[in-house]
């Protein structure tokens, strides 16, 4: 790996263990991998089109199943979408970690476990039969988790799918050695900035108060509630919002937690 300059970046992850000191060459070698998921975040990279072409001059894509046939394992920056949901995924994510100087989780599945974690709350036999029918025994499975449950992750770009502008911002930060941080405030802040009427006033449970901003409150801006695809800000935010929502709208914390389950079942288990 080239070492023309060194960067030391921190991210919106909670502790020093997630600080990354990475060495990036003049043209970093970049890979994009997928685990269990719809691969929508990998596709979102391809959908960047013109903006991606700008970045492509500064990086070298060396492993990206959806885009090229090359399969190099000498990688400076690796992006991974999808959750760890099978024993094969566990082996794969360890392989990615070993091969990549910097590892970035992209999308709700990789960062939170995402909708894959819905199966964690159902009997294994039932979801295996639902998905695979009579061939259920052919496929191994296990509880779905984010990739950070198995390997050190240097950066996370949450969302379903990830926010493309955030992806470009991170790539640029890595290229010039600047720190990158996710917003540390709630979706409600962006929602208020856009002048949206609050959905709670219509009796709709919206997870904006506990969810990390960065999506420009896209769902409430189109009249849909936030379902926390960017993850919960913190246990404190969850508790504070729980109290507030109970007092103001008579909505119990249990109701908020059940709404959170769509994307955040794993987070619910780890921080509530």
**Residue 106 beta carbon to ligand SF4: minimum distance, rounded to whole angstroms:** 14
Cis bond before residue 161 (omega within 30° of 0): yes
The structure tokens listed for 265 are 């079942």
Determine how many CB atoms are found less than 10 A away from the CB of residue 130. Answer: 11
State yes or no: residue 30 binds ligand SF4 (CB under 6 A).
Answer: no
Q: Output b/e per residue, 104-122; b: 16+ Cβ within 10 A.
A: bbbbbbbbbbbbbbebbee
In the chain the beta strands, taken as DSSP E runs, fall at 5-9, 20-24, 29-34, 60-64, 75-81, 100-106, 155-157
Q: Which stretch, 7-15, 24-32, 138-146, 215-223, contacts ligand SF4 (CB under 6 A)?
A: 215-223
Q: Which is nearer to ligand SF4, 64 or 266 (CB)?
A: 266
Q: Which is nearer to ligand SF4, 12 or 220 (CB)?
A: 220
End-to-end CA distance of the chain: 42
Q: Which stretch, 11-19, 119-127, 130-138, 202-210, contacts ligand SF4 (CB under 6 A)?
A: 202-210
Among 60, 86, 200, 269, binds ligand SF4 (CB under 6 A): 200
State yes or no: residue 246 binds ligand SF4 (CB under 6 A).
Answer: no
Q: Which is nearer to ligand SF4, 72 or 258 (CB)?
A: 258
Among 45, 109, 112, 217, binds ligand SF4 (CB under 6 A): 217
Q: Which of residues 150-169 bind ligand SF4 (CB under 6 A)?
A: 159
**Residue 161 beta carbon to ligand SF4: minimum distance, rounded to whole angstroms:** 9
Residue 220: enclosing H or E segment and its boundaries? helix 218-221
Q: How far is it, in rounded angstroms, from Cα 73 to Cα 57?
A: 20
State yes or no: residue 12 binds ligand SF4 (CB under 6 A).
Answer: no
State yes or no: residue 191 binds ligand SF4 (CB under 6 A).
Answer: yes
DSSP assignments along 86-111, one per residue = SHHHHHHHHHHHHHEEEEEEEHHHHH
The structure tokens listed for 22 are 């990475």
Among 226, 233, 238, 260, binds ligand SF4 (CB under 6 A): 226
Among 10, 51, 142, 196, binds ligand SF4 (CB under 6 A): 196
Residues binding ligand SF4 (CB under 6 A): 159, 187-188, 191-192, 196, 198-200, 206, 208-209, 211, 215, 217-220, 226-230
């Amino acid at each position: 790996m080239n070492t023309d300059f060194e960067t030391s970046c921190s991210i919106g992850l909670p502790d020093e263990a997630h600080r990354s000191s990475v060495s990036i060459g003049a043209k970093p070698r970049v890979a994009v991998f997928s685990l269990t998921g719809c691969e929508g975040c990998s596709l979102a990279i391809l959908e960047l089109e013109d903006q991606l072409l700008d970045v492509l001059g500064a990086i070298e894509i060396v492993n990206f199943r959806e885009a090229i046939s090359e399969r190099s394992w000498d990688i400076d920056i690796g992006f991974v979408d999808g959750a760890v949901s099978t024993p094969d995924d566990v082996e794969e994510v360890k392989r990615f970690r070993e091969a990549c100087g910097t590892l970035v989780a992209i999308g709700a599945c990789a960062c939170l476990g995402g909708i894959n974690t819905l199966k964690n709350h159902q009997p294994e036999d039932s979801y295996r039969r639902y998905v695979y029918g009579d061939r259920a025994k052919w496929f191994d499975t296990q509880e779905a988790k984010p990739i950070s449950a198995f390997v050190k992750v240097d950066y996370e770009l949450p969302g379903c799918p990830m926010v493309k502008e955030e992806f470009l911002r991170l790539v640029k930060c890595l290229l010039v050695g600047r720190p990158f941080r996710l917003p540390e405030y709630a979706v409600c802040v962006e929602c208020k900035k856009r002048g949206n009427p609050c959905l709670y006033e219509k009796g709709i449970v919206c997870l904006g108060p506990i969810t990390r901003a960065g999506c420009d409150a896209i769902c409430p801006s189109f009249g849909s509630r936030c379902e926390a695809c960017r993850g919960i800000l913190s246990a404190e935010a969850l508790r504070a919002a729980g109290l507030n929502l109970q007092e103001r709208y008579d909505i119990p914390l249990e109701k908020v937690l059940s709404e959170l389950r769509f994307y955040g079942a794993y987070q619910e288990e780890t921080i509530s």
